[in-house]
Each structure stands twice: as C-alpha cells, then as structure tokens.
C-alpha cells in the first residue's frame, strides 16, 4: 500500500517542479468546453432514439477522455524525466490517440454490456418470483438491491480499468494490452489498488476543498458571495486534475518500472 502514498508524493512534487503541467491542463479543460457542449447538443438530438444516451456515453469516452486524461498523462510522464510542456501533449496524442480511444471504448462497451446483463437478471428475478410465488417481489426493495449490486459491479469495473490510459501512454501498449495490463495490476494487488483509488480521490478532494470552504463560509455571510467559492474551485480544478494525473503516472511507473 506504500506505493499509493509514495506515488501521490511523487505526483505532487512533479507538478510543483513543473507547473506547466497545470497550465496545459487548464488550457485543455477550456478547449474541451465547446467539444463537450457539442456532444451535449448531440445527446439532445439523440434523445428520441432509445440508444441515444448510450451512443453519447461511448462518444464521450472515446473523444473526451483521450484528449484530457491521456494527453495530460503524457505531459506528466515527460515531467518525471525532465522538461515537459505542450509538445509532450501533442506528441502523446499523435502517437497514442487511437490506442487511448480504443482502450476507453472497450471500457465503455464492457460497462454497457454489464449494465444490460444486470438489467436482464433483475427482470428475470422479478418475473420468476412473481410466477413461482404468486406475488411479485416488493418493487422498492428489488430496486434498492439492484441499484446496490449494480453500483458495486460498475465501481469494480471502474477500478479494474483505471490504468488503461497510463498503460498506453507510459507502457506504450495497444488498446487490448492496456486492458489486460490494467486488470492484471488490479488482480495482483486488489487491496493496494483500492487504497490507491482512495488516495487519488482524497488528493483531488484536498485540492478543491478550499473552494468548497470559501463558498460555504462566504455564502453564510451573503448568498451572492457563494460564487466566490465556485470561482476558486474552477481555478483549482486544473491543479487537481494535474496532481491526480501525475499521481496516476507515478503509481504505474512504480508498479511497472519504465526502463
């Protein structure tokens, strides 16, 4: 479990030593706003189609995630070895975009198939209970159990697939090998990976916490001042993304040393 805390420390040091990582992250976040908006409009156009939201989720994973997390991972990775900057971002995408899109796409497909399978199982259980017992199982209870189990399964998938981006960018593997590597890293040390996931979330929370505190305190003085907290949070978001992504790279490099 020491890999997680050591990776967080290394990630933060890298960002402090190379603040350009935060600058590139901020620029990418701003540049992706219209892209996300276009995908949102596409989603509205697809609402009349049953599979519209599913298509939108797949497109979001394939388009947005490589541009943000994949590209920033390349910037952070270069920062561990020396100087980094915009060239590292563009170089990462030119070399690895298709593999990143493929790896993220595989994750979205697995999530989709798993969700459909869970829905089918819940439906069969409800039907079987109604047919055999003569009375349907309590709908509210079934919904709670299904939501709980579904949430656990989807969370497990998110944890197991979380290393696909760094496997591509740092490890230099293709989409399928990235999925295998990510799952293997999780299976080799499940408790360590769970702790690492918690450390990543905690690090992000610590970075953006000042914005929440300022918004809460200022809002009590004057509700209009709550926007100050939102402004601080927006300014700290690139810092959080950069620090968490650098930590992600550091953890992968510790688990799979780069020669």
What are the structure tokens assigned to 141, written together?
């209870």
DSSP 8-state assignment for residue 82: S
Give the chain's domain count.
Answer: 1
* pLDDT tens series, the chain, 259 aa: 688 999 999 999 999 999 999 999 999 999 988 877 776 666 666 555 555 566 677 777 888 899 999 999 999 999 998 889 999 999 999 999 999 999 999 999 998 888 888 878 877 777 766 665 545 555 667 667 777 888 899 899 999 999 999 999 999 999 999 999 999 999 999 999 999 999 999 998 888 777 667 766 766 666 666 676 677 778 888 999 999 999 999 999 999 876 5
Q: How many CB atoms lie within 10 A of CB 257?
A: 7
- Can you give the pTM of this predicted structure? 0.85
Residue 218 to residue 113: CA distance in whole angstroms:
45
Q: 17: domain range?
A: 2-255
> CA quadruple 50, 54, 55, 57: dihedral positive or negative?
positive
Residue 120 to residue 143: CA distance in whole angstroms:
13
φ/ψ of residue 18, rounded to 5: -130, 75
CB 134 within 8 A of CB 191: no
φ/ψ of residue 216, rounded to 5: -70, -50
């Amino acid at each position: 479990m020491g890999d997680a805390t050591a990776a967080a420390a290394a990630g933060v040091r890298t960002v402090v030593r190379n603040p350009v990582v935060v600058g590139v992250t901020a620029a990418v976040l701003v540049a992706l706003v219209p892209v996300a908006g276009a995908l949102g409009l596409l989603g509205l156009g697809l609402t009349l189609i049953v599979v519209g939201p599913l298509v939108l989720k797949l497109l979001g994973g394939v388009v947005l995630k490589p541009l943000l997390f994949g590209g920033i991972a390349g910037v952070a990775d270069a920062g561990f070895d020396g100087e980094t900057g915009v060239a590292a971002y563009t170089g990462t995408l030119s070399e690895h975009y298709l593999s990143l899109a493929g790896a993220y796409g595989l994750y979205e497909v697995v999530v989709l198939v798993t969700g459909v399978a869970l829905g089918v199982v819940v439906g069969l259980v409800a039907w079987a209970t109604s047919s055999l017992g003569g009375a349907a199982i309590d709908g509210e209870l079934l919904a709670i159990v299904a939501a709980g189990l579904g949430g656990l399964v989807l969370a497990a998938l998110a944890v197991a697939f979380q290393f696909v981006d760094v496997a591509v960018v740092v490890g230099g593997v293709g989409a399928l090998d990235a999925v295998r590597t990510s799952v293997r890293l999780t299976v080799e040390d499940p408790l360590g990976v769970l702790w690492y996931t918690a450390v990543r979330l905690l690090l992000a929370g610590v970075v953006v916490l000042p914005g929440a505190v300022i918004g809460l305190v200022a809002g009590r003085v004057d509700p209009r001042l709550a926007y100050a907290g939102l402004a601080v949070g927006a300014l700290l978001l690139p810092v959080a993304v950069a620090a968490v992504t650098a930590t992600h790279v550091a953890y992968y490099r510790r688990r799979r040393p780069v020669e």
